[in-house]
Amino acid sequence: MIAALTKISGEPPITIWQTETEIPDVDLIVIPGGFSYGDYLRCGAIAARMPVMEAVRRKAASGTRVLGVCNGFQILVEAGLLPGALMRNASLKFVCKQVQLEVANADTVFTGQYRQGEIIQCPVAHHDGNYFAESETLKQLEDNGQVVFRYANGTNPNGSVNDIAGIINKNGNVLGMMPHPENLIEAAHGGNDGYALFSAALGIAA
């Protein structure tokens, strides 16, 4: 993720240690993937309770853009910044493969460089990406256009409800998603469908 952000923005991101309590003013806060604390206990549960997450919460409340990818999505959910839960994949196995995503809401600060309904490629790599929310929450998410990405064309790799791959908060500044757009940003990756998410979030031309 650091390499991808560096490549897209032209400069390396600031990295913040888990015990920090302040985050400087930035354009975008990214919580990357990566089995924080080994995913022991519950995915993202321990990281969500680290001191730095208080600072993330404050920044999110004041409108800073926050993107959580994979384990980052799990952490955002565990921290209560996004609703629902990420359960073990329906196959009960880790899955790493290319899937297709439908851009279900192109009217967000993260997806503005995609077209509404556009189908993009994106890899997934996770053991616990099976999104679930009880019906009331789910209805709100759908009604408010908070479902931003959906697995398309039968490629749902984990059994998540309504094929949900990524959701955004009500304020539209906190996005969590299981797929890894940072692993599809250049020809070497076999495509660059993930690039536009970062360029939009960072306010860079597509």
Partner 1 sequence: MTIPNEIQITPELIEAHGLKPDEYERILALIGREPSFTELGIFSAMWNEHCSYKSSKKWLRTLPTEGPQVIQGPGENAGVVDIGDGDCVVFKMESHNHPSYIEPYQGAATGMGGILRDVFTMGARPIAAMNALRFGEPDHAKTRHLVAGVVAGIGGYGNSFGVPTVGGEVEFDARYNGNCLVNAFAAGLAKTDAIFYSKAEGVGLPVVYLGAKTGRDGVGGATMASAEFDEMIEEKRPTVQVGDPFTEKCLLEASLELMASGAVIAIQDMGAAGLTCSAVEMGAKGDLGVELNLDMVPVREENMSAYEMMLSESQERMLMVLRPEMEAEAKAIFVKWGLDFAIVGKTTDDLRFRIFHGGDLVADLPIKELGDEAPEYDRPWRETGLYSPLPAQNIEEPEDYGDALLALLGSANNSSRRWVYEQYDTLIQGNSLQLPGGDAGVVRVDGHPSKALAFSSDVTPRYCEADPYEGGKQAVAECWRNITATGAEPLASTDNLNFGNPERPEIMGQLVKAIEGIGDACTTLRFPIVSGNVSLYNETNGEAILPTPTIAGVGLIPDWSHMATIGGAKVGDTIVLLGGDGTHLGQSVYMRDCLGRADGPPPPVDLNVEKRNGDFVRSAIRNGQLSACHDISDGGLALCLAEMAMAADKGMKVEIDCEIAPTHGQLFGEDQARYVVTISADMANFFCMSAEGAGVPFRQIGTVGDDQLTINDLLSISIEQLRNAHESWFPDYMDRDIAQSLID
Residues assigned a catalytic role: 70, 180, 182
Q: In the complex with partner 1, which residue's Cβ is closer, 34 or 203? A: 34
For partner 1, the closer CB: 85 or 95: 95
CA distance 96 to 162: 20
- Measured in degrees and rounded to the nearest 5, phi and psi for residue 78 equal -65, -30
User: Nearest approach, Cβ of 77 to partner 1 (angstroms)?
Assistant: 19
In DSSP notation, 143-167 reads: HTT-EEEEE-TT--SS--GGGEEEE
Residues that bind partner 1 (CB under 8 A): 3-4, 34-35, 37-40, 93-97, 123, 125, 127, 180, 182-183, 188-189
Answer positive or negative: Cα dihedral of 36, 185, 60, 145. Answer: negative
Min dist CB 79 to partner 1, Å, is 19
Nearer to partner 1 by Cβ, of 98 and 169: the residue is 98
Cβ 136 vs Cβ 98: under 8 Å: no
- Shortest spacing between CB 168 and partner 1, in angstroms: 24
Total length of the chain: 206
